[in-house]
Amino acid sequence: MSYSGLGYYQPQPPPKPNRRPLWIALSILGVLAVAGGVVAAVVFTRGDTEAAPTTSAQPVEQTKWQTVEDAQSGVSYELPESWETSGGGVAGRVRLAKSAVSRPFECQGRSMIQAQIASGSVVSDSPAEIATEVATGIAKGGYTVDRKEPRLGEPKVESESDDRAVVSVKAEPNAVNPCFAPKATVTAVAMRDGSKVAVVVLNVAEGGPHVAEGPSADEVKHILESVQKL
């Protein structure tokens, strides 16, 4: 997988036989989308023997925030100032109008990321259904390595009402590589907006020596709680 252009989800050709898998690996040129869902990527360890960084993630109270407004999807949310925003793509039935990634870092000579967020909307009357579909699709597609699908947990409904639903899915890849994260959580926040459902999906790789390059637990909580309709 290659990450080209900060946040753009682009179709990619099938991997060539014996090609080194780049799971969650994003090389500064794009994130791919596969049939049935967006593939996000994240990376975690260097391919050499250098010691891993020991710095910890910045506390949420010290984080400088930026507000992202997606007028096309009708949502806004807050991200750490270091995140970079860009274009969109598709995730199953959902058209993603905007996305953003955490600050890139290097792994095996490639520019990688630890987390990604995207927002979009689709005609529907079920926030819970859309949240589950998007979170599951991204978790499955984003962590499939060498055609081996990841182990997925059952979708967990974090909260639900008539107009809003939050659903999370855990993923563990069935492959080993110095640039793989051991696990990840994909969380989707979906909100009814007239005849449509707007959704914001956050994909966070968890663990590994570069965990400080991604959001802390407090930052993840802040991002998800900041999601609202415009």
Residue 76's pLDDT is 96
Contact call for residues 101 and 113 (beta carbons, < 8 A): yes
Q: What top-level class would CATH report for the domain 9-47+56-229?
A: alpha beta
Which stretches in the chain have pLDDT values below 50? 1-56, 60
Residue 48's pLDDT is 34
Residue 30's pLDDT is 31
Q: What Rg do the C-alpha atoms of the chain give, in angstroms?
A: 16
Q: Where are the domains of the chain?
A: 9-47+56-229
Contact call for residues 189 and 117 (beta carbons, < 8 A): no
> Whole-prediction pTM value?
0.75
Residue 175's pLDDT is 76
Residue 61's pLDDT is 55
